[in-house]
Structure 1
Amino acid sequence: MLDASAPMDYGDEIDLSQQLSQVCLQSPLLLSHSEEESADKFDVGTVNLADPENPSLDFLCTPDFITPVEQQFSTNLDNKENSTGLRSPRALTPVRNKRLKHDTVHTKPSWRDENMRRQSPVSIQNPFLLEDTNLPQKMITSAKITEDEWEQTFISIYRHDFHEIREIGHGNFSRVFKVLKRIDGCMYAIKRSRHSLRSTVERRQALTEVQALAAVGFHENVVRYYTAWFEDEYCYIQTELCESNLTQLRDADPNVSKETSLLEIMRQMASALSAIHSKGLVHLDVKPDNIYVLNGVYKLGDFGRAVRADGSMEIEEGDARYMPLEILNDDHSQLTKVDMFSLGATIYELARGLPLPTSGAQFQSLREGKLSLLPGYSLTLQNIFKALLNPDASARPSAAELLNHSVFHRGLARVSSLDALEVTEKSL
């Protein structure tokens, strides 16, 4: 055994350092029998290599030149093998090494970030805008939306953004409220579904009105659409606020039944239907309750039953009092002419002064084109009624053809001449 007090020469120090290095680098499990014997011949004496607190350990052991600085095993956090999930037993996996030190910082989103974060809501394809080629490819139809994708949790947009003033209307499927938008201080109408839309079918039906309004876009004679959203299983649609509908106006103002007023309503509604039909849509629910008034302008609203004009969508009939015979017999070959019949029935009801029959002989006579004479109205207007209520759908005029009728141009020419006369009198 070495004596720590005995003097050593320079050669002995070299031999001691070499032997200690061999002891540090060699594992006892890998030593052969002969190597063990040679190792037994060397006794380190008072030096305890197993003691981690021994300050002489760093001095006695040489640096580790065997383990490379850059490990061969990839420990990139962007590797899918490092994602959470079931792992193989630790004994079958490679040795865990220290994380690599990179000289540069990568700012590209990792695979983990892209797949573990909350995904954005789905984009729904508008069936009324199929011809638009600029739409993104990753869109789904309302028929493919799952229950989980319908469910959303967020702060109430209705309560946060709007102040409810009062209810201004209601129907079988919805209620309409007059609201004040908090951020701009303007009045709007909010249409909310009457009952919670628990099933996917009900939500698709509510979504149809939203998509139809958005597809039509802005038109002077169509109720302007702003936005819509689903909240707590209810559908909310924000539109412009109108003063009243045609039914309410008829009850409040008898002058609506005058021929000049009827012609103006017919002209503006024909303009609205012409714009809608040019977009490939049909309304299928034209009636006084769905025609609104704002500053003397008549606007068509409530697109809950709107479909494509080509008949590719499921059709739900509107109010039977304003429906032609072919739609009641499931003939959907000329859907645009259905709207023209409904427009004729609406104006005819205003001129008649009585609600249209819901059944019986008068109901059938109206659909056969047998109209009673209307005293006090011109023959021209009554001929327009007969044309719009013609039992043959192909014989009814289109919205564009109705707009070109001479009765509307004569009225416009008369108004223009009166304006010119007023200007002349003022100049005098």
Structure 2
Amino acid sequence: MARLASRALGPLGLATLGLVGALAATLALYRAGSAALEQALDARLRGAGASAALLLTDAPASAERLEALMKANALDGVYVVDRKLAVPADATGPARRRVDLLRTDPAGVEAALAGETRVGPGYAMGELQVTVGYFPVRGSGGRVESVLVLEAGRAFSSARDSLRRAVWGGVALSAVGALALALVAARWLRDERARREAAAKAARGEALTKMAAMAAHEIRNPLGVIRGTVELMRERSGAKLSERDKESLEDVLGEVERLRRLTEDLLDLSADRPLAAQRVALSEVLEEAARATEAAFPGVKVRRSFAELPPVEGDAGRLRQVFANLLQNAAQAQGEGEVRLAAEPDGSAVRVRVEDDGPGVPKEVRERLFDLFVTGKANGTGLGLALCRRLVERHGGTVALVPEQRQGSTFEVRLPAAPQAR
């Protein structure tokens, strides 16, 4: 388990490195892009201000000209400040007023009046940062007479917002990518654990089936000798045997037969012996299994409920073994009373249900109930249901324990109908 966890650290480490690398690259690109954007915006504002200042050299500024300049360059404000810090013309407000010192930087105005162009952050309106440019406007004699002030807000900030959104989008994509890698690593770890458990389970099952096959072969020959000897003793003794002795010999033969069936079950589990495939009338097979159960358990009555069933293709003897096993389990669980056996067509298949009113299957073994050597009975071998599943699956069907909705247990077998019958 520790080795498996250490192997999972590889994908998790790659996911972490991928996230860190992607974030670092995104932040580096953001810084480079932000610097380039600021340079472009600064150049754009300087170019607009310089060209406008030249146009105002020979013609006086008017609100109409300033408004046209503002619209042409997508600015938020354009106005002129003279040496007396008055506003002779404004594209968005009244003229002939004192300059608004909350909006205008006196140092920027003084620098422009001295012949210097200055562009930089101005004032803020909520989250909107306004960039302000101060440009000297010279008169006909070359002397600076006034200052052209350009305010760039919404149009310029939209580019910054777009860049910021792109950065956050890159961060989100990096996080999603790292999360996807982490999920892949976690799923790989879970699948790897499941594969290891399945491989270990298969290895144990293979070892058990080999042992079962060896035990069955070793037991079958002595059983034949015991059976033959007991039958010969019964035949030779004849009338000399008392009723009690005859019953004892029958008991011995019964136990020998039980052991023989057990060895056959072990052989069926250890190797897929060929099926005697033929068209089978399933109702006859079910009827035989029901009669055998009633004979073996005199206190139990099997209530049959058969619809008109299509034939199935398979081995009648093996199918009879399946249903006899399920019915015997139901009879043993219930002890006495009525066990229900129902069969009906279900699309291209036949569905058979065996129901009892016993104590039900313990919760701790439900998920592994059909595994080899798993049983819910104190004296069970754990072979019967495993053999049932093996035989049913070899016939192309399924067998399952129906989720408990009442007292007792319900087993459902589905077998495909014969091709012609479909």
Name the structure where strand makes up a greater proportion of residues.
2
Answer 1 or 2: which has greater helix percent: 2
- Normalised-by-shorter TM-score class: under 0.3
Calculate the TM-score normalised by the size of structure 1.
Answer: 0.20
More relative contact order, 1 or 2 (CA 8 Å, 6+ apart): 2
